[in-house]
Amino acid sequence: MAPEFDCSEPSELLSGVRLARAVIGRGELVVIPTDTVYGVAADAFSPAAVQRLLDAKGRGRDSPPPVLIASVEALDALAETVPDEVRALVAAFWPGGLTVILPARSSLAWDLGDARGTVALRMPSNPIALALLAETGPLAVSSANLTGKPAAHTSAEARDDLGDSVGVYLNGGEVGVEHAGAPDPGSTIVDATGLLVDGGKLRIVRHGVIDAGAIRDIVGADRCE
């Protein structure tokens, strides 16, 4: 059985993050808490690890996972172009429950699936996730559940779905309970690639924990679909 660490205990947090870093380095999967739901994480720069993540969830390459990052600075390292409207959104909602789709840097050697040259980026606010990201760098992370089943809000729920397809579980207690009334317990996903063309607009791909009205207030109603 894959080991689990109670990250409310400092010593277990340290041990858990160290082992998780090693597991990620071997191309295996780790379950981590985020500020919205539990996620299953893989090395974003290992195509084999990303495929392992998709296989564990029962998901095809047509659903590429988002990439979690530890800092706003990583946004410029991974995205080819960042519009001013996105910088304003990031200033307002990162770290937090907003995922932004942008053109990926063409120089990056990764394969997240059929992403059509884009990458979905988010900086979570969960301290355990951030601690691991600081050790590993960007991680491909999708919700820690089988495709079609409810998102996991506890480590136990994630284990029920993913079992030993995961190398280690970092238990951060129940997460996302404050978002119980949201349309989706996960992050709000916006596609900002339209902002890079004349007359183009930002599109909300998934309504989640960040209210659509708050996004329109920052970007401007005329720049949102």
CATH number for the domain spanning 66: value is 3.90.870.10
* Residue 183 confidence (pLDDT): 72
pTM (two decimals): 0.95
Q: What is the mean pLDDT of the chain?
A: 95
User: Which bin fits 113, alpha (ψ -120 to 50), beta or left (φ > 0)?
Assistant: left
Q: What digits encode the pLDDT tens for the residues 18-70? A: 999 999 999 999 999 999 999 999 999 999 999 999 999 999 999 999 999 99
pLDDT at 156 over 90: yes
Is residue 225, in this structure, part of any structural domain at all? Answer: no
* Residue 178 confidence (pLDDT): 75
Average pLDDT over residues 192-211: 94
**180 confidence band (pLDDT: 50, 70, 90):** low
Is residue 96, in this structure, part of any structural domain at all? Answer: yes
Task: Name residue, tokens 């004349």.
Answer: 198
**159 confidence band (pLDDT: 50, 70, 90):** very high
Is residue 206, in this structure, part of any structural domain at all? Answer: yes
Is residue 224, in this structure, part of any structural domain at all? Answer: no
Average pLDDT over residues 186-198: 95
Residue 174 lies in domain: 4-219
Number of domains in the chain: 1
Residues 6+ apart with CB under 8 A from 45: 108, 109, 110, 137, 138
Q: What digits encode the pLDDT tens for the residues 203-223? A: 999 999 999 999 999 999 899
